[in-house]
Every structure is written in structure tokens, then in C-alpha cells.
């Protein structure tokens, strides 16, 4: 299975925000003494904004090294 694209990640984050805003998801819950906490709404929104910028700029790759012309 391949890693999701930035566009797929953006769609997932937007779905999570929509679910949280419409009451379809909770931020945290506790069952039998075990606590589970999801990413906060503000963190989801920051991640969404970052992914939007990256997909809009076409920045889907990370360049680690660049080779120039030999001297």
C-alpha cells in the first residue's frame, strides 16, 4: 500500500474537520479507564491550511539535494 498523496491527506483532514463541526466525531473519550484523544480542531485546521498551500503550489516532492553544473 502506498502512502497517501497530499491531496488525499487534505481531503481526509477536511472530512475530519467536517465531522467534528457537525457532531459526527468527538475530540476525546474514555472507556473502561482508557482515554483516547484525537488531534484538536485547531491543529486540524493548521494542518489543512498547510496542505492547501502545498497542493496549490504544486509542491508534492521534497528536494534533499541539488546538483549544479561542474566547475
Q: Look at residue 61 in the predicted model and tell me its pLDDT.
A: 58
Residue 43 lies in a domain: yes
Domain tally, the chain: 1
Domain encompassing residue 31: 6-50
Contacts by residues 26-30 (CB-CB < 8 Å, ≥ 24 positions apart): none
Q: Is residue 42 part of a domain?
A: yes
Q: What is the pLDDT of residues 3-55, one digit of tens each?
A: 888 899 999 999 999 988 888 777 788 999 898 888 888 999 999 999 999 88
Q: Which three cell numbers stand for residue 9?
A: 491527506
Does the pTM of the predicted model rise above 0.75?
no
CA distance 7 to 57: 12
Tell me if 40 is assigned to some domain: yes
**63 has pLDDT over 70:** no
Amino acid at each position: 500500500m502506498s502512502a497517501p498523496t497530499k491531496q488525499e491527506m487534505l481531503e481526509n483532514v477536511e472530512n475530519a474537520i467536517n465531522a467534528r463541526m457537525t457532531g459526527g466525531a468527538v475530540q476525546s473519550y474514555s472507556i473502561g479507564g482508557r482515554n483516547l484523544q484525537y488531534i484538536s480542531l485547531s491543529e486540524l485546521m493548521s494542518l489543512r491550511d498547510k496542505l492547501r498551500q502545498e497542493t496549490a503550489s504544486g509542491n508534492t516532492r521534497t528536494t534533499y539535494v541539488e546538483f549544479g553544473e561542474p566547475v
